[in-house]
A and B are shown apart, each in its own frame.
Chain A
Amino acid sequence: MQHSKQFQDIFADPKAYARRWKEKTGGKVIGTLCSYAPEELILAGGALGFRIVGGSGSISKADAHLQSYSCSLVRGALEDALNEQLDFLGGAIFPHTCDSIQRLSDIWRMNAETGFHLDVVLPVKLNTQSARNYMAAVMRKARTDLEAVLDKIITDDDLQKAIGTYNGIRSAMKRLYTLRRDRPGTIDGSDVHAIVRASMVMDRNDFLNSLTQVVESLEQQPEPESKTGKRIFFSGGVCNLPDVYSVIESAGGTVVGDDLCTGFRGLTGLIDIGGDPMDAIADRYARRAICPAKHSGITRRGDDLVRLAKETRAQGVIFLFLKFCDPHAFDYPYLKSMLDAEGIPSLLLELEEQIPSEGQFRTRCEAFMEML
């Protein structure tokens, strides 16, 4: 698709983009390891948030630090950091996420040379007043810490502008996802994926402009020839595999929505404007789509999944988990049974970063489509 080429290019080589951005602007690129990173603060500080979702090749150096039962995201990210693949970073921010990323932060801090190292130790609970107060306090601390490492005062005005940009991005992404839901075929799954991935690395104001153009032009397009593919919803974690979309599509499916970490999850929820910007940023974290490593009631993810599957009129749900991702693996049985209770079939596909056997993967998807 023509208008998504820019995003595809960035997705194909995000590191090259970040290097060019750094050269052009002289600004700092900050690696982030999770969708809960304080993106608005990074933008307000004039830096470029660069989401690290895995590695770029085989693992050798990371094996000296991480056991084989760590997920490919953690091992791959460390490999890149130790291999000077991330030498353009001015720093790295580790929001508290899961047990593996928690230890990755320590190992990274002790071994990688990627500039400053900041831990943002968010609460795990999101549904109590004390957790919200702590979230706001952590964000304020992150702001002070960032000011120190960036040597720049982050003003409320900077923050309001950054919030405006992110609200713009999240609103436009919602329109894109609505299009995908209501008029599947308007845009390919792999294009949406590329856009989401670009949203994690591209200059956020440029991204907002480009995204807005794309969404507007798509909205004006006539309804495509009705696409007969089976409506599929993706649920799970980090999906570093664009091919998943083409596999689904060639197997006769159309992806109509997702709650992936490399999907819509981090792009949900708007920040209130008008009040204290730090409180507003903190409050959004409680409202946005939740990661299984966080807690907001014992059925929050199941409730959300069933609601989204229904809203997107999904005929089937495909769970995409990274092998060794504990939080997702713990949720799977109850999520599946909640879907079963609603009569929504599901399929679990456990992924390593590289598909070990694409043929098997394809066969399972095809069998699932046939069953629907």
Chain B
Amino acid sequence: MNNPDKPIDPEREKRKIKSVKRMKDIMTHYYIDAKTTDQTGKKVAWITSGGPVEPLIAMDVIPVYPENHGAMIGAAKMGVDLCEKAEEMGYSSDLCSYARADIACATVNGGPIGGLPRPDMLVCCNNICGTVLKWYEVQARYFKVPLFILDTPFNHTEYTKEAYAYVRAQLNEYIAFLETHCRKQFDFDRLAEVGRLSMAGQRLWQQVLDTAVHRPAPMSAFDAFFHLALIVTLRGTRTVVDYYTELLDEMKTRVATGIAVVPGEKYRLLWDNLPVWFRTRWLSDKFAAHAACLVADTYTSSWCGTLKYLDENDFFGSMAEGYSRVYINIGTDQMAGMVMDMVDKYSADGLVIHSNRSCKPYSLGQYDIQRIVQEKRGIPSLVIEADMTDARNFSESQIDTRIDAFMEVLKS
């Protein structure tokens, strides 16, 4: 919104990503659809962010993401209130802040969009953490709706044939679950089409992220945090493909015309872990003030990181491997390897590690990743102790000082 008292800065206007408005419109329509199913008769499934959404799309079920909701709650700075409410309900303040915020929100229909639509079913894939299992158990008891768990065994050092067979068998159970609760037959031809769109969307998302390889980068990780919502929530739809096609065009134009997201970009940094949703703007400005751009991150690239395991000609079967081998469901040393690949690919000068109190599978092991990257790439790194949604775990003055000190090291 324009502030009449503040003159428009043409330089700043030029750097703004124009697709943002369209993205907001898409997300608004998506939530309106999801919240008006009493008029359309569509079913709503709550699903984890790393979960297999394509079969839901193929069944015309509207997928709703408590984690995306958690991010919105965080960005709207409503996390603390809801987390405190969960603590009053008996949930420890040490638990994941997404889970706390969502569990509390379900009981009061609070938050930035007045709560999520009531689920008809829950789909939980534990490829991102064990927390979602406990969280979805809580919601299954609260809403008294069926819960399907896709159990994707962790890959410490290898991807085993036993794990493949187990997940492959569960995919059939998933289809049977959907057929039972949607009371209609599953259409595998439709899934094949959804799978093609899903993969097309993932490829485009990767291409969008890849534009930041260019120096200066046309977008930063902070932009990726925003534009990520579509590949998470509507993966498998034409909407995503169309939107990222447009976004990619805009990024290419920015590259061609030399529009940098951070004016005078000098330092290129890689971000690890989820965003600090309630301080993205502050962090973005803070780094930009040092002419530093966060050119890539390990988080948003997770939604296109398993393309190599997916097969367009057998999307259903290949989901077993694709959903099992996501970034966070692999060993810490493999993660370190991928971080170094990103350092190389995006020519990063430093690594910024968000040690996220809410996310143990993502955060435990970061100190080792930091050490490995320092040893093998010789780049400096910074650890920020924070949280994705609970602002009580963010010490602004301390982080401010640490970022300044880190940037001094980079500049020297």
Interface string of A103-141 (1 = CB under 8 A from B): 111110111000000010111110010110110011001
Residues of chain A lying within 8 A (CB to CB) of residue B357: 67, 69
Taking the closest CB of chain B, its distance from the CB of A308, in whole angstroms, is 20
Contact yes or no, A326 B95, CB < 8 A:
yes
CB-CB under 8 A from A124, the residues of chain B are 126, 130, 133, 149, 151
Which A residues are CB-close (under 8 A) to B129?
Answer: 99
- Please pick, from A125, A141, A323, A331, the residue contacting B134 in the complex, using a CB distance under 8 A: A331
Shortest B61–chain A CB gap in Å is: 21
A330 touches B135 (CB 8 A): yes
CB atoms of B162 and A326 under 8 A apart: no
Q: Which residues of A contact B156 (CB under 8 A)?
A: 94, 105-106, 109, 119, 121
Residues of B within 8 A of A69 (CB): 94, 357, 360
Stretch at the interface among B137-145, B222-230, B289-297, B299-307: B137-145
Binds A, one of B234-242, B247-255, B364-372: B364-372
Q: When the two chains form the complex, which single residue of B154, B333, B360, B368 contacts A96, counting CB atoms closer than 8 Å?
A: B154
Measured between C-beta atoms, what is the minimum distance from A296 to chain B in Å? Answer: 11
- Which residues of chain B are within 8 angstroms of A336 by Cβ–Cβ distance? 90
Residues of A within 8 A of B141 (CB): 298-299, 334
Flag whether B76 is at the interface (Cβ < 8 A).
Answer: no
Complex interface bits, B169-187 against A, C-beta within 8 A gives 1, otherwise 0: 1100100000000000000
The reply to whether A125 and B333 contact each other, CB–CB distance below 8 Å, is: no
Report chain B residues within 8 Å CB of A105. 156
Interface string of A270-313 (1 = CB under 8 A from B): 00000000000000000000001101001100000000000000
Give Cα distance in the complex from A299 to B137, angstroms: 8
Docked pose: A119 CA to B330 CA in angstroms: 12
| Contact partners of A361 in chain B: CB under 8 A | none
**Is A245 part of the contact surface with B, judged by Cβ < 8 Å?**
no
B89 at the interface (CB under 8 A from A): yes
The A/B interface has a contact count, at CB < 8 Å, of 147
Tell me the dominant secondary structure on chain A's binding face. helix
Residue on A nearest B130 in the bound complex, by CB: A99
Bound-complex Cα distance A52 to B333 (A):
24
Let me know if B332 and A106 touch, CB within 8 A. yes
User: Do residues B162 and A330 form an inter-chain contact, with CB atoms below 8 A?
Assistant: no
Tell me the smallest distance from the CB of B197 to a CB of chain A, in Å: 28
Q: Are the CB atoms of B153 and A121 closer together than 8 Å?
A: yes
A110 and B368 contacting across the interface, CB-CB below 8 Å: yes
Nearest CB of B to A202, in Å: 29
CA distance A332 to B357 in the complex (A): 20
Cβ contact within 8 Å between B360 and A330:
no
Q: Does B395 contact A (CB under 8 A)?
A: no
Residue B17 lies at the interface, judged by CB distance under 8 Å to chain A: no
Q: Which residues of A contact B332 (CB under 8 A)?
A: 103, 106-107, 110
Q: Which residues of chain A are within 8 angstroms of B160 by Cβ–Cβ distance?
A: 121, 141
B368 touches A293 (CB 8 A): no
Q: Are B365 and A130 in contact (CB under 8 A)?
A: no
Residue in contact with A293 in the complex, picked from B91, B130, B135, B140, CB distance below 8 Å: B130
B371 to A: closest C-beta gap in Å: 8
Specify which of B135, B154, B331 lies most central, judged by the most chain A CB atoms within 10 Å of its CB: B154
Q: Are B162 and A99 in contact (CB under 8 A)?
A: no
B-chain residues with CB within 8 Å of residue A154 when the two chains form the complex: none
Confirm or deny: B381 has a beta carbon within 8 angstroms of a beta carbon on chain A.
no
Please give the number of chain B residues whose Cβ is less than 8 angstroms from any Cβ of chain A in the complex.
49
| Alpha-carbon distance between A326 and B100 when the two chains are bound, in angstroms | 12
Query: Are B360 and A107 interface neighbours, CB within 8 A?
Result: no
User: B109: CB under 8 A from chain A?
Assistant: no
Are A134 and B166 in contact (CB-based, < 8 A)?
yes
Asked if A138 and B169 sit within 8 Å, CB to CB, the answer is: no
The answer to the question of A17 belonging to the interface, with a C-beta cut-off of 8 Å to chain B, is no
The bracket for how many chain A residues form the interface is: 35 or more
State whether the Cβ of B163 lies closer than 8 Å to any Cβ in chain A: yes
Tell whether B40 is near chain A: CB-to-CB under 8 Å: no
A102 within 8 A of B: yes
Given A99-B129, A103-B360, A124-B151, also A295-B137 (CB < 8 A): yes
The answer on a CB contact under 8 Å between A298 and B131 is: no
Q: Which of A107, A125, A329 is close to B95, meaning CB atoms less than 8 Å apart?
A: A329
Q: How far is the CA of A99 from the CA of B328 in the complex (A)?
A: 11
Whether the pair A121, B169 counts as a contact (CB closer than 8 A) is no
Task: Name the distance in Å between A167's Cβ and chain B's nearest Cβ.
Answer: 26
B101 on the interface (CB 8 Å rule)?
A: no
Check B154 against A121 for contact (C-beta < 8 Å). yes
Q: Say yes or no: is B361 at the interface (Cβ < 8 Å to chain A).
A: yes
Chain B 148-162 interface residues, beta-carbon cutoff 8 Å to A: 149, 151, 153-157, 160, 162
Q: Is B363 part of the contact surface with A, judged by Cβ < 8 Å?
A: yes
Q: In the complex, what residues of B have CB within 8 A of residue A324's CB?
A: 94
Residue of B nearest to A130 (CB): B169
| A99 CB contacts on chain B under 8 angstroms | 129-131, 360-361, 364
In the complex, which of the residues A94, A111, A330 contacts B91, with contact meaning CB atoms closer than 8 Å? A330
Q: Which residues of B contact A94 (CB under 8 A)?
A: 156
Are A123 and B153 in contact, with the CB atoms below 8 A?
yes
Task: State the CA gap A70–B355 with chains docked (Å).
Answer: 12
Across the interface, name the chain B residue whose C-beta is closest to A135.
B166
Cβ of B191 under 8 Å from chain A: no
A242 within 8 A of partner (CB): no
Note all chain A residues with C-beta closer than 8 A to B94.
69, 323-324, 326, 329
Q: A333 on the interface (CB 8 Å rule)? A: yes
| Given A103-B365, A326-B94, A330-B138, A130-B170 contact (CB < 8 Å) | yes
- B81-114: which residues lie under 8 A (CB-CB) from chain A? 89-92, 94-96, 99
The answer on a CB contact under 8 Å between B173 and A128 is yes
Check if B360 sits within 8 Å of A332, measured CB to CB. no
The 3 closest A-B pairs by CB, nearest first: A330-B134, A333-B90, A103-B364
Please name 20 pairs of A and B residues whose Cβ atoms are closer than 8 Å in the assembled complex, sorted by A: A103-B361, A104-B364, A106-B331, A107-B364, A111-B368, A119-B156, A123-B153, A123-B166, A124-B130, A128-B173, A134-B165, A292-B134, A323-B94, A329-B92, A330-B91, A330-B134, A330-B137, A332-B91, A333-B138, A334-B138
List 14 additional A-B contacts (Cβ < 8 Å) besides A69-B357, A330-B99: A67-B355, A74-B364, A99-B129, A100-B360, A103-B364, A103-B365, A107-B332, A130-B173, A134-B166, A137-B166, A293-B133, A298-B147, A299-B141, A330-B135
